[in-house]
A and B are shown apart, each in its own frame.
Chain A
Amino acid sequence: MAPAITFAADEISSADTGFMLICSALVMLMTPGLAFFYGGMVRVKSALNMLMMSFISLGIVTVLWVLYGFSLAFGTDTGSLIGWDSDYVGLSGIDKAEVWSGYTIPTLVFAVFQLMFAVLTPALISGALADRVKFAAWSLFVVLWVSVVYFPVAHWVWGTGGWAFELGVIDFAGGTAVHINAGAAALGVILVIGKRAGFKKDPMRPHSMPLVMLGAGLLWFGWFGFNAGSWLGNSDGVGALMFVNTQVATGAAVLAWLVYEKVRHGACTTLGAASGAVAGLVAITPAGGAVSPIGAIAIGVIAGVLCAMAVGLKYKLNYDDSLDVVGVHLVGGIVGSLLIGLFATGKGQSEVAGLFYGGGLDQLWKQAAGVFGVLAYSLVASAVLALLIHKTIGMRVDEEQEISGIDQAEHAETAYDFSGVGSSSAKPTVPARAESNKVDA
């Protein structure tokens, strides 16, 4: 996020406002995009649950953000840890013409743009929890997690007065606040709730690679709003640099992942291409405003290879990061955040230069501090929240339900109708409550 350094600030620009409204809509699309990306990767019996874990965030976090989230994240700072502004509660004290301080857009536009980030971040975590988490427990987790982890961390990284922001940690669009945060949270939760039934034993092939590719495409598209929009419409060219670097790093990461797996496993896979794209997008997210396009290629290649290596770790270390949230988002986020310390040119969003551009190690240490602070807090706090829910209402569905399929057990639906003629009978009447959890299969 931009330090307040610009031009004709504090006056609303219709161009910037229009651009930022479009960017907000683009970021919104990332959550259903993510749902498809994850949904295609699970087995048929849990595809809907995977979609719903993302989609519910659009409901829960939207409401919480309006009620108190925006205030906690972007209100007046207390102790470098949290914000609060009673005008922001319910967004009701914000005049529609009020300008976001230091910029050229209404505060309401900034609030809704940031809302979309808050929606996406908990949805990212869900990929690690495939097939096995009660929908009610997940919903409660989202409520608690954004309140205790996301809102404060967004304040640390982007809020005026937040400790990481004041330290000078560069996080353009959410490498630490979104991706390291979500990746570390995923790790914390899976260490509490454990593995899927049959992990490392049963085949858990993705049920629809075309859905995964569709989701990756939507993510890539939406990410332009996520990244380029994070300069909030300022017309100094940094938003354009970010847009270019987003494309460049992502393309490079796709190639890097594919080359790695061709050498290592003998084939260029669609899942590799989709995963490489997401790894590149994650890694350029914090860095794209600070590096050159050549730097973006380097970051994309490094992230593509390291993430491709990291996704195998779960089998060696025996933890079930089902869809590689740790391997892609935590690792990719760390890569991008740290590489700013090497590749920052000093000619992008600020004059801070990295090691390769004569800036010494100064920025690298700051980046490491940001990475470690967010990672450690999110890991511990998320594990504690998961433990709290696990010990009370329970995080997991019964093993029998998990094996027969969480879609039927939790949502009373199945993703696809594979049944032949006569295998289900139409019931024109509204089913009684007792029957509503059954699905004709």
Chain B
Amino acid sequence: MKLITAVVKPHKLDEIKEALQAFGVHGLTVTEASGYGRQRGHTEVYRGAEYTVDLVPKIRIEVLVDDADADQLIEVVVSAARTGKIGDGKVWAVPVETAVRVRTGERGPDAL
């Protein structure tokens, strides 16, 4: 199994959710995150004083998938999240040792 994590622009969440549902993903976890990549933050002006806001709001989406589906799922997330402008975010995958469905106690891919 793999854990796919995507840190993306907040307004892309709905598109990504729909794309994942269409792909057959049954569940995901979303957290509000903040950070910066190459786009850095942005500047705000209050009574002439400039403030650099380093951390911009992002959404972090986490999905557990079977190894076989991982590459394709990454592709689905990436294409749904892309605007082509700087600040679109990152998607990565890490191996997961095990997963358990709390209600039934099923383990491994059966738990997904």
Asked whether any CB of chain B lies closer than 8 Å to the CB of A271, the reply is yes
Complex alpha-carbon distance, A25 and B46, angstroms: 32
B53: chain A residues at CB < 8 Å are 203, 205
B22-62 interface code vs A (CB 8 A; 1 in, 0 out)? 00000000000000000000001111111111000000000
Indicate which residue in A203, A261, A264, A272 contacts B51 across the interface (CB closer than 8 Å): A203
Find residues 257-279 in chain A having any chain B CB closer than 8 Å to their own CB: 261, 264-267, 269, 271-272, 275
| Most B Cβ at <10 Å: residue of A265, A267, A315 | A265
| Most B Cβ at <10 Å: residue of A203, A269, A312, A315 | A203
A324: chain B residues at CB < 8 Å are 47
B48 contacts A266, C-beta separation under 8 Å: no
A265 contacts B44, C-beta separation under 8 Å: no
A308: chain B residues at CB < 8 Å are 47-48
A264: chain B residues at CB < 8 Å are 48
Asked whether any CB of chain B lies closer than 8 Å to the CB of A194, the reply is no
A286-320 interface code vs B (CB 8 A; 1 in, 0 out)? 00000000000000000000001001100100000
A267: chain B residues at CB < 8 Å are 45
B47 contacts A275, C-beta separation under 8 Å: yes
Question: Nearest Cβ distance between residue B36 and chain A, in whole angstroms?
Answer: 15
Indicate which residue in B48, B50, B51, B52 contacts A311 across the interface (CB closer than 8 Å): B48
Question: Nearest Cβ distance between residue A175 and chain B, in whole angstroms?
Answer: 22
Residue of A nearest to B51 (CB): A203
Complex alpha-carbon distance, A203 and B53, angstroms: 9
Complex alpha-carbon distance, A127 and B66, angstroms: 59
A271: chain B residues at CB < 8 Å are 46-47
Question: Nearest Cβ distance between residue A3 and chain B, in whole angstroms?
Answer: 38
Asked whether any CB of chain B lies closer than 8 Å to the CB of A359, the reply is no
Asked whether any CB of chain B lies closer than 8 Å to the CB of A394, the reply is no
Complex alpha-carbon distance, A266 and B51, angstroms: 14
Complex alpha-carbon distance, A275 and B48, angstroms: 12
A205 contacts B44, C-beta separation under 8 Å: yes
Residue of B nearest to A272 (CB): B47
Asked whether any CB of chain B lies closer than 8 Å to the CB of A206, the reply is yes
Question: Nearest Cβ distance between residue B51 and chain A, in whole angstroms?
Answer: 5
Residue of B nearest to A203 (CB): B51
A266 contacts B45, C-beta separation under 8 Å: yes
A205: chain B residues at CB < 8 Å are 44, 46, 51, 53
Complex alpha-carbon distance, A326 and B105, angstroms: 67
Residue of A nearest to B48 (CB): A312
B51: chain A residues at CB < 8 Å are 203, 205
Complex alpha-carbon distance, A195 and B50, angstroms: 19
Question: Nearest Cβ distance between residue A341 and chain B, in whole angstroms?
Answer: 29
Complex alpha-carbon distance, A264 and B46, angstroms: 12
Indicate which residue in B46, B48, B50, B52 contacts A206 across the interface (CB closer than 8 Å): B46
Q: A205-B44, A311-B47 are in contact. List 10 more A-B contacts (CB 8 A).
A: A203-B51, A205-B53, A206-B46, A265-B45, A265-B50, A267-B45, A271-B46, A271-B47, A275-B47, A311-B48
The interface of chain A, by Cβ under 8 A from chain B, is 203, 205-206, 261, 264-267, 269, 271-272, 275, 308, 311-312, 315, 324
Query: Which 10 residue pairs spanning A and B have beta carbons closest together?
Result: A203-B51, A311-B47, A265-B45, A312-B48, A205-B51, A271-B46, A271-B47, A265-B48, A206-B46, A267-B45
Q: Mind listing 13 A-B residue pairs with CB under 8 Å? A: A203-B51, A205-B44, A205-B46, A205-B53, A206-B46, A264-B48, A265-B45, A267-B45, A269-B46, A271-B46, A271-B47, A308-B47, A324-B47
